[in-house]
Each structure stands twice: as structure tokens, then as C-alpha cells.
């Protein structure tokens, strides 16, 4: 394999690690804002029922998950194999948990952006992540 081709693949893995850190920081900030909101309870009305949604609980979840994503992202950039696997699992959990904010209507556009970033990270780390460890 040529150095040019390996550096391009390594670039995708670095891209995944940087996006992981950015998405984690946004998620942590998003969680902190949800915790600090003065009115942290929203109602979701459906045809059959009314659902009470506690944003502060989701805020704590996203704050902790976001900080974990940032820490794992740093280790991904350092080339740790365990960090790639952990990052893929955490990012998948983050994408699923963003659906909760999406359905509650708290910040649907931000949730869609974070889900898209999570998909990019999963792609970059599953396809090109091994190259980062080999450089």
C-alpha cells in the first residue's frame, strides 16, 4: 500500500476522531443547557395520550455521554484500538438517544445534525479506523 493511499485513509480516521470530539462537545453542551433550562418539563400530545417529558433527565444523560465521547475521541486520535470500538458503540447509543430529543420536539434540528455526525463517525471509524492505529 502506498504512503499516499494510507495517508488518505488515515485522514478519514482522523476526520472521524475530530467529528467525534465535536459531536461530543455539542452533545455535552446540549445536555448542560437542558439541565439549566428553567422549565425543564415538556408535554407531548398524541392522539391517544399526553406524555410528560423530563428534559433535565435527558440533559444529564447527554452531558455524561457527550463528555465520554470527547474523551474517547482523544484516544481515537492517538490510535487506540479499544477507543475505536468504544467510540462506535457510544456513537450508536448517542444516535439512538438523540431520537428521544427529536420526538419530544425540544431541538429537532440539532438532534438531526448530531445523528448525521454520528453516522459520519461510524462510517469513518469502521471503514478507515484501523489505518489510524497502523500509522
pLDDT of residue 113: 86
Q: Provide the percentage of residues in the chain whose pLDDT is more than 90.
A: 21
Average pLDDT score over residue span 18-42 = 82
pLDDT of 75 over the 80 cut: yes
pLDDT of 121 over the 80 cut: yes
9 vs 35, residue with greater confidence? 35
Q: Are 71 and 8 in contact (CB under 8 A)?
A: no
pLDDT of residue 28: 92
Burial tier of 124 (Cβ tally within 10 Å: 0-12, 13-18, 19+): buried
Rounded CA gap, 110 and 52, in Å? 21
Average pLDDT, the chain: 79
Q: How confident is the model at residue 109 (pLDDT cuts 50, 70, 90)?
A: confident
pLDDT of 8 over the 70 cut: no
pLDDT tens-digit series, residues 50-71: 666 677 787 888 899 999 999 9
Rounded CA gap, 114 and 21, in Å? 12
Amino acid at each position: 500500500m502506498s504512503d499516499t493511499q494510507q495517508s488518505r485513509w488515515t485522514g478519514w480516521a482522523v476526520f472521524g476522531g475530530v467529528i467525534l470530539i465535536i459531536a461530543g462537545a455539542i452533545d455535552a453542551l446540549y445536555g448542560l443547557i437542558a439541565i439549566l433550562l428553567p422549565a425543564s418539563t415538556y408535554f407531548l400530545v398524541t392522539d391517544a395520550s399526553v406524555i410528560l417529558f423530563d428534559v433535565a433527565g435527558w440533559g444529564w444523560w447527554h452531558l455524561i455521554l457527550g463528555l465520554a465521547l470527547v474523551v474517547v475521541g482523544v484516544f481515537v486520535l492517538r490510535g487506540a484500538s479499544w477507543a475505536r470500538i468504544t467510540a462506535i458503540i457510544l456513537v450508536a447509543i448517542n444516535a439512538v438517544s438523540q431520537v428521544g430529543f427529536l420526538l419530544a420536539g425540544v431541538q429537532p434540528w440539532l438532534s438531526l445534525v448530531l445523528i448525521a455526525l454520528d453516522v459520519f463517525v461510524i462510517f469513518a471509524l469502521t471503514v478507515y479506523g484501523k489505518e489510524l492505529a497502523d500509522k
